[in-house]
Structure 1
């Protein structure tokens, strides 16, 4: 009886031990590190364009500003109003010019009188017998000299009078009239301003970006005032030097716009200058990149494992980057690699 009981006890112990082993193996399997699940993207060939963003202001190409320092006398009359269309040469402002007008009229009268005197001398010379006409040579010469002097005086008087009439230097529109020449802050301000019809966009870009901007580059312009509209424009001029009014080096870039560009003067616009276009290059999404010392690397999925590869980059867009070395089209890269992911680690995709 005792031997049978011992055998049953031993069988129970061995069964319990086997169960413990199974449970231990199951626990090890259950608690083993699992391969992380990762999102991926495929490196593929694409056409990329790199852009430089800047905010710009619509401004006139040509403008004429009359400052208080341009006035040689007090204003007699402003001959135009805000909003008036003017032609080149049209009078904008008349200064007080009574003295100049009187001097001009006197010069005209003097010239007329000198011309009459010359005509009379010529008639006398012509009417005299041939042998006596030489006696009038001195008189005629003196009269001619008087006429020449009178013409010079008239030219000077006309110039002095014209200086009191400020004229438009271009066809355009009057956008400001301020006869006092004093701004709201009490400082000198323009008396009058005329702008031409042609518009441009003036932007400021960082000196780092400016070295990549060249005359003739294309750009795309949008405006909140015209939702859904995009205009294609081009760079007309890049500033020769940087300014630091805002605390960092900024360079002015001017862009030409079509003649029918509808955005009014003074409005703000968004500008994307296309600084480079690369066609058919290998591209991947930005989130695939990880810092690799001074450069970058990606994790490529190969046979279920993460392979770390250094890459060299080309131009960038808002969402993708060109890879010039390190990847081939079709390579599968991990997006936002998990922290602590090591080269050779198993990963799950899909």
Structure 2
């Protein structure tokens, strides 16, 4: 009885094991058929580029101010009443143009009086000289007549200079700014009347750290962009002067460069880029290839047809490229565009990605 029962239990157990094994193989075969029926994974279309080493120089970024080559504030040189304003604000004037007159009539009358007195003293001096030659008068009388003549001669020079000061003239060709006075206004010595600027020649002044000063020389080219132009193209300037003295507070040296006046306004803010002649090997990649995150910057390097997330360290930016200081080597292939759908390990293929595929880098 016991043997018969044991035999039945053994048969049932063997049957269960056989059923389980059969079920396993049936399911495995079903899954294999499903996988076989699934389409092969599609490669993501991206743009790729090979990194290469290029010799480039250090780029200094600075801020500066656009200035006119010549510019003055016209001020009253004598006290008095404005009797004439001969030009309008914003006018172009030639050198020597009388811009503002400060009651010159009184000074002109004083000059005429001095000229009349000079004629009298000159006549008296010549008469006394003849009398002295004939031994009629003493040397003292002749000396007095001569002194009166020279004094009146000096008065004419003084009166002429005062009359010249009454007329504010343009010292050079340029453009008048806003005129601050009107006819009838009383002014004091040194009071601001108007500005005069040369706007057909401009310069930009900026400062660089002392460690770069020996690398800058006259004739170097600089890149200039001004906030007054929005997204307009930058301008090229030429360095023409370098201050030999450093600022003791900032340890910087001032530099001036000439720039075309087209589109620039004196007094405006400018961004400066100056490339130094200290070229050294550097690895450049497109800025579009870099993804910025809270955990650092990275790119997708192409390894065996797949994207590999690679952390990198960045240096200076150069226009649309950026220097890589760590993480890549020359000759590496990286994804340069079409990054939006790329992930670590994704199958990728060279092609033209959609225009809206590049990600928007987040600044950290």
Q: 2:361 maps to what in 1? A: none
Does structure 1 residue 79 correspond to structure 2 residue 86?
A: yes
Does structure 1 residue 42 correspond to structure 2 residue 43?
A: no
What SS class does the counterpart of residue 330 from structure 1 fall into?
Answer: coil
Q: 2:163 maps to what in 1? A: 161
Deviation at 1:330, TM superposition (A): 1.7
Q: 1:283 maps to what in 2? A: 284
Distance 1:137 1:300, change over 3 A: same
Contact 1:35-1:347 at 8 Å conserved across structures:
no
Contact 2:85-2:182 at 8 Å conserved across structures:
no
Q: What's the C-alpha RMSD, in Å, of the aligned pairs?
A: 5.3
CA distance in 2, matches of 1:312, 1:10: 60
Q: 1:331 maps to what in 2? A: 332
What TM-score do the two structures reach when normalised by structure 2? 0.62
Contact 2:125-2:146 at 8 Å conserved across structures:
yes
What TM-score do the two structures reach when normalised by structure 1? 0.64
| 1:237-293 Cα distance to aligned partner (Å, 9 max, x none) | 79988xxxxxxxxx99864224xx544757989866343575874322233466697
CA distance in 1, matches of 2:21, 2:330: 59
Contact 1:42-1:332 at 8 Å conserved across structures:
yes
CA distance in 2, matches of 1:35, 1:51: 46
1:63 to 65, 68, 71: 71
Distance 1:307 1:196, change over 3 A: closer
Aligned residues: 313
Deviation at 1:162, TM superposition (A): 2.1
CA distance in 2, matches of 1:156, 1:53: 50
Distance 1:13 1:232, change over 3 A: closer
CA distance in 2, matches of 1:238, 1:291: 41
Does structure 1 residue 198 correspond to structure 2 residue 207?
A: no
CA distance in 1, matches of 2:255, 2:340: 40
Q: 2:129 maps to what in 1? A: 122
Contact 1:202-1:252 at 8 Å conserved across structures:
no
In the TM superposition, 1:1-350 aligns within 5 A as 15-24=22-31, 39=46, 40-46=48-54, 52=61, 60-67=68-75, 72-82=79-89, 85-126=92-133, 128=134, 132=135, 135-180=137-182, 191-196=193-198, 198-200=200-202, 217-220=220-223, 231-235=235-239, 255-258=257-260, 261-263=261-263, 273-275=273-275, 281-286=282-287, 287-288=289-290, 298=299, 300-303=301-304, 311=312, 313-324=314-325, 326-334=327-335, 341=344, 346-350=345-349
Distance 1:172 1:292, change over 3 A: closer
Distance 1:11 1:297, change over 3 A: closer
Deviation at 1:71, TM superposition (A): 5.8
Deviation at 1:106, TM superposition (A): 1.8
CA distance in 1, matches of 2:322, 2:32: 47
CA distance in 2, matches of 1:29, 1:52: 59
CA distance in 2, matches of 1:264, 1:319: 24
Q: 1:185 maps to what in 2? A: none
| 1:166-211 Cα distance to aligned partner (Å, 9 max, x none) | 1111122445445339xxxxxxx96433332533265889x99xx8
Gaps of 5+ in 1: 1-5, 182-188, 242-250
What SS class does the counterpart of residue 130 from structure 2 fall into?
Answer: helix
Contact 1:38-1:347 at 8 Å conserved across structures:
no
| 1:116-152 Cα distance to aligned partner (Å, 9 max, x none) | 11100111223x2xxx36x432211111111222223
